[in-house]
Structure 1
Amino acid sequence: MVTAQVLFTIMGVCTRLGAQRLPWSEVAAARAVLGAAVAIAIARMRGAPLVIHDRRTAWARSICGTVAMICTFYTLGAPAIALGDAVTLGATSPIFIAILAPWLLGERSGRIVWVATTVAFAGVALVAGPSFRLSGRLSLVSLLGAVASALAMIWLRRLGTGRSGTPRESPEAIVTHFSLVAGVTLSVVALPTLRVPDLEGALFLLGTGASGAFAQIAMTRAYALDRAARVGVWSYLGVVLTHVAAMGVLGEREDPIGLAGSALVIAAGLGLTWSGLREARAATLASTPCQTGR
C-alpha cells in the first residue's frame, strides 16, 4: 500500500502537468488503457490467470471504480483547486469504507469510527472552506469520487478473498477488468475533445498511465491481504506526499487552514488504524486456546 501511494503521487503530478496541455478526459483515458496493458503484461510474465469468477462483484467494482476515476481526474486536472486539496478530499474514502464496511462486508466498526468521521469531515470543511466559492463544485466532485472509491474498495475486498481467506481472483485479473471498463468509458468521453499530444504531453500521458497502473496492482494486492478499513488508511500517506510534491514540483502555495484540515483528515485515519490494530489483537487473543503447563 505504501508503494501504491508513492506511485499515485507521481500519477497526480503527471496528471496536473499533462492537463495543462491536454484535456483531462484524454489523460484519464490514457491512464485506463495503459493500466489494462500493464496488468495483462504482468499477468503474462507471472503466469497469473485473467479469469473472473465472480462477475457480478467484478462489474460492481469496475463501475464504481470508473466513476471514482472520472471524478478524480476531473479534479486533478482542474487548476481552480490545489492538487493537495483535491487529493485530501479524495482521501476521505477510507472514512466512507469504515462507515459502509459493517453493512457490506460484515466487518464491525466501533465508536472510534464515528469519532474519526467527525474529525475527518471537520478537516474536509477546513480544506474546502477557504476556496469553496472558487472550487466548491470541484470539492463536491472530489467527495463524490471518494464515496465511489470507497464502494469500489469494498467490492475489491469481497472480490479478492474467497471463503477460506485465500485470494479468489488474481490482482491482475481484477485490474484488467476495471481498466478495460474504465478505458472504454473514458475513451468515449474523450472523443469530442481529443488532441494529438506533443512529445512532452505524450511523456506525461505515459507517466500517468504507467504509475497509475502499477499503483493499482499494488493497492489491489494490499486489499486482498488485510481488512479494508485497516489497509485503506494508508492512503493518507499519499496526502502527505502529494502536498510535498505540489509545493516542490508544481510550486503551489499551501494555505495554513487547508494544511490544518489535511492534518485532521490524517489524524482521523490514524485513529482508525489504532482502533483496527486493537480489534485485531483482541480477536487474536480470543481465538487462541489457553495453554497449560505440564
Structure 2
Amino acid sequence: MDGSVARPRPFLALAIRLMTAVVFATMSMLVKLAGERGVHLAELVFWRQAITLALVVLTLAILGKLASVRTQRVGAHARRAIFGIAGMFFVYGAVMLLPLAEATAISFTAPFFAVLLSVILFGEKIGKYRWGAVALGFAGVLFLTQPAFGLGDAGSINPFGAAVGLVAAFLVSVISFQVQDLNKTETPWSIVFWFVLLTTPVMALALPFVIQPHDAETWAIIIAIAVAGALAQILLTSSLRFGSAGVILLMDYTSLLWATWYGWTIFDRTPPATLWIGAPLIIGAGLLIAWRERQLAVARQKTETVQP
C-alpha cells in the first residue's frame, strides 16, 4: 500500500508518544469520572468505538482519503480487534477499580510482558539484563500492591483491580506487536478504522442490556472519552510507525505525572508512599529494558554493516 511504510524518525516518534501519554491520562481520568456516574463499562466501550468510527469516517471523507483504508489483511485486523477490545475492557476496568496513579503505574509493566512474549513467540534469547529488569519491575508491582509493608493505607489497593491492571498491561504488549506488524503495510488511519469497524457491531449486541439514561454532563464526558480515544489511537499508531516500541515507550512514563495530578485535583486522592517506591522500581526496570534494546539494536546494525 502506497505510503504505508515510513522511515524511522525517532525524535518525531518521541514527541508524538509524549502527546499520546497526555491524551491517555486525560482519557483515563474521564473514564473514571464516567464510572463514578454509573456508566456501565460495556456501554462506555460501545460509545467509545461508535463515536470514534463516526469521527474517523467523517475525517477521511473530508480529507478525501477513504480509499486509504483498503486492505488485504482483514485477518490481521480481526486479530488486532479481538485483542484490542479485550484490552480496552481491562484497561478501563483497571482505571475504574484502582486509583488513577496506581492503575497507571501498573500499566507500565507492558514492556516486561513484551520481553516475555519475545521469548515465547519469536524464540528470542534474553540475557541477564532484561531478565533482571523483568524481575525488578514485578518486584515494584508487588511493593506497590502490598499494604502489608506498612507504607500505605491498608486496603488501598484492590487486589482484583491490580490483577485486572496486569492483564491489561499484557494485552497492551500483545497489541503493540500487532500494530507494529500492521504498520509494515497499513496506514495509521486504516489500522484505527478497521479496529473500530470490526468491534462496534460486536459491542452493539451488548448495548440493549447495559444502556442507561444520562444527563448532559455525563454525555459530554462520554463524548470526550471517544474523542480522546480516537486521537490517542492515531497518535499511538503514528508513534509506532516512526520509532521502535522499546524506545518510545519511555514517554509513557510521563503519564504517571498527569495521573497523579488528576487524582489529586479531581478525585482528592493523595498517592500512598508505596507508589513512590514501587513506581520508580517499575520505571527503572523499563528504562533498563529500553537501554538494553538500544544496545542490541546498535550491535545488530554493526553486524549487518560488516557482512558482505
Matched, 1:230 2:247: yes
2:158 to 105, 120, 135: 135
Which letter does structure 2 place at the counterpart of 1:18? A
Aligned partner letter, 2:60: A
Give the partner amino acid of 2:294: L
Which residue number corresponds to residue 25 of structure 2?
A: 9
- 1:145 corresponds, among 152, 155, 168, to 168
- Separation (CA, whole Å) in 2 of partners of 1:289 and 1:203: 58
What is the rounded CA distance, in whole Å, between the counterparts of 2:132 and 2:292 in structure 1?
A: 11
Residue 64 of structure 1 pairs with residue 80 of structure 2: no
Of all paired residues, the percent bearing the same amino acid is 21
* One-letter identity of the residue aligned with 1:213: A
Secondary structure at the residue paired with 2:22?
Answer: helix
1:39 Cα deviation from its structure 2 partner = 2.7
Contact kept in structure 1, 2:108 and 2:286, CA below 8 Å: no
State the distance in 2 between where 1:211 and 1:34 align: 11
Instruction: Give the match for residue 139 of structure 2.
Output: 122
Rounded to whole Å, the distance in 1 between the matches of 2:64 and 2:176 is: 24
Q: Give the whole-Å Cα distance in 1 for the aligned partners of 2:144 and 2:198.
A: 32
Aligned match of 1:254 in 252, 265, 271? 271
Q: Which amino acid aligns with 2:267?
A: L
**Closer/same/farther in 2, CA of residues 94 and 233 from structure 1, 3 Å limit:** farther
Q: What pairs up with 1:1-294 in 2 under 5 angstroms?
A: 1-21=17-37, 22-44=39-61, 45=63, 47=65, 49-78=68-97, 81-104=98-121, 109-130=126-147, 135-161=158-184, 168-288=185-305
Q: Shift in Å at residue 68 of structure 1?
A: 0.6
Change in 2 beyond 3 A, CA 1:84/1:284 = same
Distance 1:95 1:47, change over 3 A: same
Q: 1:222 to 1:105 in 2, by over 3 A?
A: farther
Give the aligned CA root-mean-square deviation in angstroms. Answer: 2.3
Q: 1:268 to 1:176 in 2, by over 3 A?
A: same
CA distance in 2, matches of 1:107, 1:58: 25
Superimposed CA distance per residue, residues 199-256 of structure 1 (whole angstroms, 9 cap, x where no aligned partner): 1101111111111111111111222233333333432222332122212332211001
Q: In the comparison of the two structures, how many residue pairs are matched?
A: 282
Shift of 1:89: 1.7
Q: Describe the shift of the 1:108–1:61 C-alpha distance in structure 2 as closer, same or farther (beyond 3 A).
A: farther
* Residue ranges of structure 1 left out of the alignment (5+ in a row): 162-167
Q: Secondary structure of 1:269's partner? A: helix
TM-score normalised over the length of structure 1: 0.86
Distance 1:129 1:186, change over 3 A: farther
Letter of the structure 2 residue corresponding to residue 158 of structure 1 = D
Q: Once the 2 structures are TM-superposed, how far is the Cα of residue 60 of structure 1 from its aligned partner?
A: 1.4
Please say if residues 230 and 272 of structure 1, whose CA atoms lie closer than 8 Å, have aligned partners that are also in contact.
no
Deviation at 1:274, TM superposition (A): 1.4
For 1:66, give the aligned amino acid.
I
> In structure 1, how many angstroms separate the alpha carbons of the residues matched to 2:65 and 2:264?
41
CA distance in 2, matches of 1:215, 1:282: 33
Amino acid at match of 1:172: W
